[in-house]
Amino acid sequence: MSTSEKIVLAYSGGLDTSVAIGWIAEATGAEVIAVAVDVGQGGEDLDTIRKRALACGAVEAYVADARDEFADEYCLPALKANALYMDRYPLVSALSRPVIVKHLVKAAQQHGAGTVAHGCTGKGNDQVRFEVGITALAPELKCIAPVRDLALTRDKAIDFAERNNLPIETTKKNPYSIDQNVWGRAIETGFLEDIWNPPIEDIYTYTQDPAEPRDPDEVVITFDEGRPVAIDGETVTMLQAIEILNQRAGAHGVGRLDMVEDRLVGIKSREVYEAPGAIALIAAHQELENVTVERELARFKRTVDQRWGELVYDGLWSSPLKQALDGFIDDANAHVSGEIRMVLHGGRAVVTGRRSGQSLYDFGLATYDTGDTFDQSHAKGFIELFGMSTKLAAVRNQKNG
């Protein structure tokens, strides 16, 4: 590569991506532009991260506060899809990658870069999410991964940082790999790689120990067409809804998950997650769907929801199928409006009340007491017709032994 070529790097501000700036420059001769995207991961502010990137050798630093964008354009579609990979994981990391990819491509186009770099290894899901996502938005861009492609190991990173006096901490090594954003937090590696070892309380930060005694917290969440718009009657944005429930549900230990997960690359991986806001919101949304979505539509939507989650997990956010499913899911949420009351306590978010002007629940049809409007005389003929095909098959089987 010539010295005039530029490479855009997904930059977190940590050791590996800070070292990657100089490592890429030495290996390729290119100038490096660092891109940092705030998706609600907490920690250092963007200005501090920008200054560190420049101090580590970046020629430019592109920083973006994408918290509302992430909540509105990525977390909200996941909520409408009740997205839980393997019926449990609320796509914490998988959801953040497409918004980071969007800003990497934007930065590359602004600065005339022909290559995008990321810090993923060759055995995880994220390399696929970044590279397929970039290809979908800008197929002309090339991708490299310093850890995978340029032999940047952690011991080499520490040595490089010390030799070049980079302004980052190199002596402490967190025993875990942690990825977090406003939708949740993922913890892996270290002693957790032995799947017999239980998680310890020290690994959690979004949630409190659910076994600790505390008073239950009752919350009412208002939805409009699948979107949470108020909590306890106070209007909220999508981001605020997640943040408030992260605090309130997290205080009761809601949203802790410990699972062995099927990675896209074919291996099984032990993952520990905490996603209090996501789990509470999905539970509330699912129950409001139960009240407002017609039976056949609801049954089919469960299949669509599962496939949507698999596509996003696999890094296919911009695929034609996922985009087509988005249209179905939005349409299916057209009547998902109303209120859900939940009690947060002991690690659980339990629905205790539902109320909706779009409800399909008819008290007169459902009650067994006086006022019942259901005509039970229709049931006998219905059962006869409904079971006709089964009855005919049974008669045939008896006849043929």
Q: Residues within the annotated binding site for L-citrulline?
A: 89, 125, 129, 177, 261, 273
Per the CB < 8 A criterion, the answer to whether 25 and 1 are in contact is no
CA dist., res. 340 & res. 355, Å (int)? 7
Structure tokens at 242: 């997640």
Torsion angle of C-alpha atoms 254, 260, 261, 262, degrees rounded to 10: -160
Which of 52, 67, 126, 248 is flagged as catalytic?
126
Sign of the C-alpha dihedral, residues 293, 296, 297, 298? positive
| Residues whose CB falls within 8 Å of the CB of residue 244, separated by 6 or more in sequence, listed in order | 231, 236, 277
DSSP letter (8 states) at residue 71: I
- From the annotation, which residues make up the binding site for L-aspartate? 121, 125-126
Given a contact cutoff of 8 angstroms between Cβ atoms, the answer to whether 292 and 360 are in contact is yes
Residue with tokens 């669509």: 304
- Within a 10 A sphere around the Cβ of 225, how many other Cβ atoms? 13
Catalytic residue among 16, 38, 305, 314: 16
Active site residue 163: no
Annotated catalytic residue 126: yes
Q: How many Å apart are CA 154 and CA 148, to the nearest integer?
A: 12
Quick check: is 262 catalytic? Answer: no
CA distance 68 to 237: 8
Copy the structure tokens of residue 107: 């930065």
Question: What are the DSSP calls for 255-279, one per residue?
Answer: TEEEEEEE-TTS-EEEEEEE-HHHH
Residue with tokens 């200054």: 51
Q: Which of 50, 52, 67, 97 is catalytic?
A: 97
Cβ atoms of residues 36 and 53 within 8 Å: yes
Q: Which of 65, 177, 214, 330 is catalytic?
A: 177
Binding region: 10-18, 89, 119, 121, 125-126, 129, 177, 261, 273
Cα of 58 vs its chain's centroid, Å = 30
Token output for 148: 């995978």
Closest CA to 59 of 111, 116, 97: 111
Binding-site residues for ATP: 10-18, 119
Token pair of 328 as six digits = 């179905």
Catalytic sites, residue numbers: 16, 97, 126, 177
